[in-house]
Amino acid sequence: MASFAPYAYIQCPCTESNLPTRRLGSESPTDPLETEQEEPTFDPRAPRANYSLYPLEHLLYCEDCHQIRCPRCVIDELVACYCPNCLFEVPISTVKSEGNRCTRSCFQCPICIGPLSVSSIEAQRDGLGAEFAAYGGPYVLSCGFCNWSSDEIGIQLDKPNSIYNQLAKIRHGGKSLTNARERRKEREERSKLGYSPTIEEEGGSEDGQEKTDLNATEDFDAESQFGNLKAFYQAQLSESSPVSSLGLPGDYSYGSPGALSRIMGLYTGSSFADKKSRTKKGIMREARDAPEGLHIFSPSSDEEAVNRLRTEGWGNTVSTTQRKEQSEQNTHFLSDLRPIPYLLRTRRSKRCKTCRHILSKPESKVHSTRFRIRLVALNYIPSITIRPLQTSSSSLLRPMKPTQFLLTFKNPLFDSVKVNIATAAKTPGRFSSKVTVLCPQFEVGANTDAWEEALREGGNKGGEREKRRTKAEASEGQHQAEAGKVWERGRNWVSVVVEVIPASLRVQAPAFLKSEELQKDESPLREDEDVLEIPVFVRVEWEADPTHDDTGGLAAAGAKDKEVKEKRELAYWCVLGIGRIARD
Amino acid sequence: MSNPSGPSHRNVASIRSPPSTNPAAPASPHTPLRTITSAFGSPSAIRAEEEHVIIELGSRYLRAGIAGDALPKAVLDFGPDSQRRAGDYRKWSVGYDKAWRERIREGEWGEPYELWRPDLRGLDLGLVADKLERAVREIAKYLIVDVRPRRVTLVLPSALPLPLLSTILDTLFTSFLTPTISLMPAPGLVPAAAGLRSALVVDIGWAETVVSGIYQYREVQSTRSTRATKMLGEEMNNMLAEMIDPASSPAASEDPQNSKHARDVLSFEECEEIISRMAWCKPVERGEHKAPFQGLTPVKEEDELRASVRSLHISSAEETDPVVSIPLASTKSCRTLRLRFSKLAEPCEKVLFADGTAPENLDDEEMPLHLLVYRSLLKLPRDVRSVCMSRIIFVGGGSNLPGLKRRVMDEVAILIEQRGWDPVQGKAIDGLRNNPKLQRTRSRQASNSPTPVLHLDATPASMQDQEPDEIGTVLNKQARDRDPPNDMGQLRAVESLGAWSGGSLLSHLKIPAVSVVEREQWLLHGAAGASRTGEITVSTQRQSMGPGAFNVKSGAGDRSSWTLGLWG
Say how far apart CA B258 and CA B252 lie, in whole Å: 9
Going by C-beta distance under 8 Å and a sequence separation of 6 or more, which residues neighbour residue A231?
A: A180, A184, A292, A293
What DSSP line would sit under A111-175, residue for residue?
A: TT-PBEEEEESSPPPPSTTTTTSPP-S-EEEEETTT--BGGGGT--BS-SS-HHHHHHHB-GGG-
Of B134, B163, B509, the CB nearest to A237: B509
Say how far apart CA B327 and CA B77 lie, in whole Å: 24
- Residue of chain B whose alpha carbon sits nearest to that of A57: B87
Provide the domain limits for residue B101.
89-113+228-353
Sign of CA dihedral A370, A376, A380, A383: negative
Last residue of a domain, one of B353, B386, B408: B353
Higher pLDDT, B264 or A346: A346
Q: Same domain for B325 and B258?
A: yes
H or E segment and range at residue B242 = helix B229-244
Does residue A92 have a pLDDT over 70? yes
Which of A156-165, B123-132, B144-153, B236-245 shows the lowest mean pLDDT across its residues?
B144-153
**Amino acid type, A546:** P
Last residue of a domain, one of B353, B370, B386: B353
Contact between chains at A53 and B86 (C-beta distance less than 8 A): yes
Going by C-beta distance under 8 Å and a sequence separation of 6 or more, which residues neighbour residue A402?
A: A499, A500, A501
Partners of B134 on chain A (C-beta within 8 Å) are 51
**pLDDT digits over B270-295, tens only?**
899 999 999 999 888 765 544 433 33
Q: Is A198 helix (H, G, I), strand (E, B) or coil?
A: helix
Q: Same domain for B304 and B342?
A: yes
Contact between chains at A306 and B322 (C-beta distance less than 8 A): no
Q: Same domain for B299 and B164?
A: no
* Angle, vertex CA A313, rays to CA A310 and CA A314, nearest 5: 140
CA B441 to chain centre: 48
Q: Which residues 160-179 of A are in CB contact (within 8 Å) with B?
A: none
In terms of Cα–Cα distance, which of B56, B108, B371 is closest to B225?
B371
Of B68, B127, B494, the CB nearest to A295: B494
- Classify B548 in phi/psi space as left (phi over 0), alpha (psi -120 to 50) or beta: left
Find out whether A173 and A191 touch, Cβ atoms under 8 Å: no
Query: Would you place residue A550 in the very low, low, confident or very high pLDDT band (cuts 50, 70, 90)?
Result: very low
**pLDDT digits over B152-207, tens only?**
899 999 888 888 998 899 888 887 778 889 898 899 899 999 888 889 999 999 99
Partners of B95 on chain A (C-beta within 8 Å) are 1
Q: Same domain for B340 and B286?
A: yes
Q: Is B448 helix (H, G, I), strand (E, B) or coil?
A: helix
For residue B318, give how far its alpha carbon lies from the nearest alpha carbon of chain A (Å). 13
Work out how many domains chain B is built from and give that number: 3
| Residue B171 to residues A63, B526, B567, Cα–Cα distance (Å) | 26, 12, 17
Partners of A295 on chain B (C-beta within 8 Å) are 194, 494-496
B280, part of any domain: yes
For residue B504, give how far its alpha carbon lies from the nearest alpha carbon of chain A (Å). 10
**pLDDT digits over A119-158, tens only?**
887 765 555 555 555 556 788 889 989 888 888 888 888 8
- Residue of chain A whose alpha carbon sits nearest to that of B4: A264
Report pLDDT for A131. Answer: 52
Does residue A576 have a pLDDT over 60? yes
Contact between chains at A527 and B102 (C-beta distance less than 8 A): yes
A143 in B contact zone (CB under 8 Å) = no
For residue B224, give how far its alpha carbon lies from the nearest alpha carbon of chain A (Å). 23
For residue B296, give how far its alpha carbon lies from the nearest alpha carbon of chain A (Å). 34
Contact between chains at B195 and A99 (C-beta distance less than 8 A): no
Q: Best residue in B22, B38, B53, B411 to probe A by mutation, most A CBs within 10 Å?
A: B38
**pLDDT digits over B507-544, tens only?**
888 887 778 888 888 888 877 777 655 444 433 333 33
Q: Best residue in B53, B277, B344 to probe A by mutation, most A CBs within 10 Å?
A: B277
Report pLDDT for A385. Answer: 92
Find out whether A249 and B546 touch, Cβ atoms under 8 Å: yes
Last residue of a domain, one of B353, B374, B395: B353
Share of chain B above pLDDT 70, in %: 69
In terms of Cα–Cα distance, which of A72, A69, A53, A40 is closest to A8?
A53
| Residue B142 to residues A95, A344, A346, B11, B443, Cα–Cα distance (Å) | 11, 8, 10, 44, 71
Report pLDDT for A54. Answer: 92
In terms of Cα–Cα distance, which of B397, B172, B208 is closest to A320?
B397
* Angle, vertex CA B358, rays to CA B352 and CA B360, nearest 5: 105
Going by C-beta distance under 8 Å and a sequence separation of 6 or more, which residues neighbour residue B307?
A: B356
- Residue of chain B whose alpha carbon sits nearest to that of A23: B124
Does residue A401 have a pLDDT over 90? no
B382, part of any domain: no
In terms of Cα–Cα distance, which of B245, B190, B170 is closest to B56?
B190
**Amino acid type, B416:** I
Partners of A229 on chain B (C-beta within 8 Å) are 193-195, 497, 505
Q: In 10 A of CB B141, how many CB atoms?
A: 15
CA A212 to chain centre: 47
**pLDDT digits over B419-460, tens only?**
888 888 778 888 887 877 766 555 555 455 454 444 445 666
SS (H, E, C) B352-408: HCCCCCCHHHCCHHHCCHHHHHHHHHHHCCHHHHHHHCCCEEEECHHHHCCCHHHHH
Say how far apart CA A227 and CA A205 lie, in whole Å: 28
Report how many Cβ contacts below 8 Å link chain A to chain B.
335
Say how far apart CA B37 and CA B329 lie, in whole Å: 55
Does residue B347 have a pLDDT over 70? yes
Does residue A470 have a pLDDT over 50? no
Q: Is A102 helix (H, G, I), strand (E, B) or coil?
A: coil
Higher pLDDT, A193 or A530: A530
In terms of Cα–Cα distance, which of B543, B550, B509 is closest to B40?
B509
Report pLDDT for A480. Answer: 64
Say how far apart CA B105 and CA B81 lie, in whole Å: 15
Say how far apart CA B378 and CA B381 lie, in whole Å: 8
Q: Best residue in A70, A81, A100 to probe B by mutation, most B CBs within 10 Å?
A: A100
Does residue A7 have a pLDDT over 50? yes
Sign of CA dihedral B547, B551, B554, B560: positive
Q: Strand B199-204 relative to strand B209-215: parallel, antiparallel, unpaired?
A: antiparallel
Q: Strand B493-495 relative to strand B392-395: parallel, antiparallel, unpaired?
A: parallel
Does residue A213 have a pLDDT over 70? no
Q: In what order do the strands lie in the sheet with A371-374?
A: A74-82, A345-352, A358-362, A371-374
Say how far apart CA A452 and CA A467 lie, in whole Å: 20
Q: Same domain for B277 and B163?
A: no
Find out whether A542 and A566 touch, Cβ atoms under 8 Å: no
Q: Same domain for B164 and B270?
A: no
Say how far apart CA B64 and CA B77 lie, in whole Å: 12
Partners of A276 on chain B (C-beta within 8 Å) are 30
Burial class (CB in 10 A: 0-12, 13-18, 19+), A157: buried
Of B75, B141, B508, the CB nearest to A324: B75
Q: Helices H, strands E: what count in chain A?
A: 15, 22
In terms of Cα–Cα distance, which of A338, A332, A220 is closest to B280?
A332
Q: What is the CATH number of the domain that holds B508?
A: 3.30.420.40
DSSP secondary-structure letter at A370? -
Say how far apart CA A68 and CA A376 lie, in whole Å: 9
Q: Is A271 helix (H, G, I), strand (E, B) or coil?
A: coil
**How far apart, in Å, do the first and last CA atoms of chain A sit?**
16
Q: Which residues 58-77 of A are in CB contact (within 8 Å) with B?
A: 58, 71-72, 75-77
B264, part of any domain: yes
φ and ψ at A397, to 5 degrees? Answer: -90, 135
**Amino acid type, B495:** E
φ and ψ at B155, to 5 degrees? Answer: -105, 115
Of B1, B30, B195, the CB nearest to A294: B195
Q: Same domain for B13 and B139?
A: no
Does residue A258 have a pLDDT over 80? no
Partners of A347 on chain B (C-beta within 8 Å) are none
- Residue of chain A whose alpha carbon sits nearest to that of B512: A248
In terms of Cα–Cα distance, which of B399, B408, B349, B404 is closest to B374?
B408
Which of A440-449, B214-223, B501-510, B520-529 shows the lowest mean pLDDT across its residues?
B520-529
Burial class (CB in 10 A: 0-12, 13-18, 19+), B524: exposed
In terms of Cα–Cα distance, which of A130, A106, A128 is closest to A118?
A106
Partners of A299 on chain B (C-beta within 8 Å) are 405-406, 409-410
Find out whether B233 and B274 touch, Cβ atoms under 8 Å: no
Q: Same domain for B105 and B134?
A: no
Going by C-beta distance under 8 Å and a sequence separation of 6 or more, which residues neighbour residue A349?
A: A76, A77, A79, A358, A360, A361, A362, A373
Partners of B481 on chain A (C-beta within 8 Å) are none
- Residue of chain B whose alpha carbon sits nearest to that of A296: B494
Find out whether B554 and A252 touch, Cβ atoms under 8 Å: no
B282, part of any domain: yes
A324 in B contact zone (CB under 8 Å) = yes
B552, part of any domain: yes
Find out whether B500 and B155 touch, Cβ atoms under 8 Å: yes
What DSSP line would sit under B24-91, residue for residue?
A: TSSS-SSPPP----GGGSSGGGGGGGS-EEEEEE-SSEEEEEETT-SS-SEEEE--GGGGSPTT--GG
Mean model confidence pLDDT for chain A: 74
For residue A511, give how far its alpha carbon lies from the nearest alpha carbon of chain B (Å). 23
Contact between chains at A313 and B545 (C-beta distance less than 8 A): no
Q: In 10 A of CB B71, how many CB atoms?
A: 20
Q: Same domain for B145 and B182?
A: yes
Mean model confidence pLDDT for chain B: 74
B262, part of any domain: yes
- Residue of chain A whose alpha carbon sits nearest to that of B41: A250
Q: Is B201 helix (H, G, I), strand (E, B) or coil?
A: strand
For the segment B91-113, the average pLDDT, to the nearest whole number, is: 76
Say how far apart CA B277 and CA A333 lie, in whole Å: 9
